Amino acid sequence: MKTTRKQNLRAAAALLLGALSIAPALAQEAKSKPAPAQTLITNARIFDGKSDPIPDGMNVLIEGNKIARISRTALTPATGATVIDAKGRMISECNQALVRAASEGDLLQAICRLTVEYGGYRMAWVGFAKQDAANTLRP
């Protein structure tokens, strides 16, 4: 079954949000010090699977490793929170990667690289949730 561009964009957006939501936990492990309680991503373009065109200037507040709020209005993070200015480029770059990727592996590698380059993270990783009793993540 052939997937449509819109389905591929939804999958890419889900991967991005998933990567962004687990990145603070990964950064904590990598740096061996506590991750910030909050991360605020400003000026993001968020694809919700419905809107056309993709809205600019969205703000995403992440608490721990979960998305707490997405808003068009400015959000005020707690003192000491990490603030990342997405500059609206991340989704554009990921869309280009989606078009150019020759395989799923190429796409995932590009999404991780772009998350680091444009998202301001030290690293990014994509895991696949297995449907087993332990809820295992497979790299």
Where do the structural domains in the chain lie, given as residue ranges?
A: 5-129
CATH topology of domain 5-129: Urease, subunit C; domain 1 (2.30.40)
Dist CA 10 CA 22 (whole Å): 18
pLDDT digits (tens, 9 = 90+) for 44-69: 877 767 777 777 788 889 888 788 88
Q: Assess whether pLDDT exceeds 70 at residue 42.
A: yes
Highest mean pLDDT among 31-40, 59-68, 90-99: 59-68
Q: What is the arithmetic mean of pLDDT over 65-78?
A: 87
